[in-house]
Amino acid sequence: MTILLEVCVDSAEGLAAAIEGGAGRIELCSALELGGLTPLPSLMRIAARAPIPVYAMIRPHAGPFIFDGADEEAMMIDIDAVRAAGLAGVVIGANRPDGTLDMPLIHRLKAHAAGLGSTLHRAFDLVPDADQALEQAVELGCERILTSGCSLKATDGLETLKRLSAKAAGRISIMPGSGIRPANVGEILRATGAREVHGSCSSPVESRDPRAVAFGFEARRMNRTDVTVVREMHRTIKAAI
C-alpha cells in the first residue's frame, strides 16, 4: 500500500523543499498563515515545472468560505490561470451562512475546472452534518476531501475521520490534515486507514530584519516549509505502511 504525502507551500523555496524532502503532491497557496489563499500566477508557472502533481488553492480572500458574485468571478479567473499554467488540479470549496456546503457555487467551480483534478478543502470542516457533506462531495465528483474531522486538529477528529473513511468506501478519498507532524502521523494513519495525508511540514523562523518587522513588512516569527521535516514525515509514513 502506498500512502501519499501532500505538502502545502506558499513560495518557490517551500516548493523546492517539499519536493526535495519527498512530497508526492503539492497544494500551492499564498498566505498559509491565513489557511491558504490563491497563489500568484507567477508561482503557478514556477510550480508547473515540478516533477509531482500540483493543485492550486482557489480562495480569493481570508475569512469564512462564504463567497459572493465578485468572489465567484475571481475564482473562475483563477481556475483559468491554473489551467493556463499547466497545473494538475484545484482545491475548492464554499459554505452557506449556515455552514452547509454551497453546492450550487461549488458545482459551478467544479464545472469550470473540467479536466483538472479537484480537492474539496476545509470548508468541509465547518459543516453541521459531516455525513451529509460527505455524500455531497461524492455527488460533486471531487477526488478527495481535505479534513481534520471537523475539529481544530486532525488528532481531535480521529473518530470522525475514521467514520468518514469507512462511509466513503472508496468513492472518494478522505485526506486528514491540520496539525499533522512526524510525531503523530503514524497514529492518524493507523486510526483512519487513510491513503493520503496533508501537512505543512514547516518550522518557525525568526525574522532577521528588525526594521522590516517595525515597518510591518514582515512578521517577527513565520513558519516555513522545512525539508528536514518533510523528509522525517516521509520516512515515518513509509515506516507506518
The number of beta carbons lying within 10 Å of the beta carbon of residue 72 is: 17
pLDDT tens, residue order, the chain (241 aa): 799 999 999 999 999 999 999 999 999 999 999 999 999 999 999 999 999 999 999 999 999 999 999 999 999 999 999 999 999 999 999 999 999 999 999 999 999 999 999 999 999 999 999 999 999 999 999 999 999 999 999 999 999 999 999 999 999 999 999 999 999 999 999 999 999 999 999 998 888 888 888 888 888 888 899 999 999 999 999 888 6
**Quick one: fold of 4-240?**
TIM Barrel (3.20.20)
Q: What is the pTM of this model?
A: 0.95
